[in-house]
Chains A and B, each alone.
Chain A
Amino acid sequence: GAGVSQSPRYKVAKRGQDVALRCDPISGHVSLFWYQQALGQGPEFLTYFQNEAQLDKSGLPSDRFFAERPEGSVSTLKIQRTQQEDSAVYLCASGVGGSGNTIYFGEGSWLTVV
C-alpha cells in the first residue's frame, strides 16, 4: 500500500486478555519499528526489525510483550495478560534502512485496557 497500515485502529481489552496488533509496512521497507505513545508524551521505542531479524528489543517493557516479523514484511506486536498501564497508542514505522533515512509512521493502534 501507499503508507504504513495498522490494525485494529481501536481495541478495548479486558484486563488479563491477550491482544495482537498488526503492522503492514510500506512495500520494500527493510526497517520496521514499534513505538508506544502515552497521551501527551512522545513515542517511546519498543523494538526494531531489519527484515525478519529482531535487532533490538530493549524497549519492550516486560516479558508480556512480544513482537515478530517472520517473513520480513508484516509484523505483529503481541501483549499477553494486558494490564491497565498498557493503555496507549502503539505506533508502527518503517523505513528503507540506512543511517540517514527517515521513517514513516502508521496511524497507530489505540489500546484501552479496562
Chain B
Amino acid sequence: GQNIDQPTEMTATEGAIVQINCTYQTSGFNGLFWYQQHAGEAPTFLSYNVLDGLEEKGRFSSFLSRSKGYSYLLLKELQMKDSASYLCAVKGAGNMLTFGGGTRLMVKP
C-alpha cells in the first residue's frame, strides 16, 4: 500500500523561506510530485522528482531522497499569494498518483 505524510498546517512570514516536508512509503516508485491548490481551485503542478537531489524552479525548489522516502518543497521570498495547500503525491507501480493530506500554508504580512 501507499502511505504519505505531511504536516497539516504551517505558518510563515512574507519574504521568508519555508520548507514543507513529505515522507512516503510506497510499493513501487515512479516519481514524486508537488501540487499547489488554492481554496476552491484545481491543484496545479509545481514540480516532479524521480532522481535524488534538488530541482530548482524559480522561487520553488523540491528535493528527493529515495533511500529515506523523503521529499521537501522549499519556497523562497514568500508572497501573500503563496497561501495555499501544498500536496505531495507519489506515483507508484501503477500510473496513478497517491496524495498526502496536504499542508495548508498561511503567509502572514
Query: B102 and A41: CB pair below 8 A?
Result: yes
Count residues of chain A with CB under 8 A from any CB of chain B: 25
Count residues of chain B with CB under 8 A from any CB of chain A: 25
A4 and B43 alpha carbons, distance in the complex (Å): 12
Chain A residues near B43: list those with CB within 8 A: 43, 91, 105
User: Is B65 in the interface zone, CB < 8 Å from A?
Assistant: no
A25 and B44 alpha carbons, distance in the complex (Å): 15
Which of A11-19, A76-84, A96-104 is found at the contact surface with chain B? A96-104
Query: A102 and B87: CB pair below 8 A?
Result: no
A31 and B98 alpha carbons, distance in the complex (Å): 15
User: Is A65 in the interface zone, CB < 8 Å from B?
Assistant: no
Residues of B within 8 A of A (CB): 4, 30-31, 33, 35, 41-45, 48, 50, 87, 89, 91, 94-102, 104
Residues of A within 8 A of B (CB): 4, 31, 33, 35, 40-45, 48, 50, 55-56, 91, 97, 99-100, 102-108
Sampled A-B contacts (15; CB under 8 Å): A33-B97, A35-B99, A40-B102, A42-B87, A42-B102, A44-B99, A45-B96, A48-B96, A56-B94, A91-B43, A99-B91, A100-B48, A100-B50, A102-B48, A107-B41
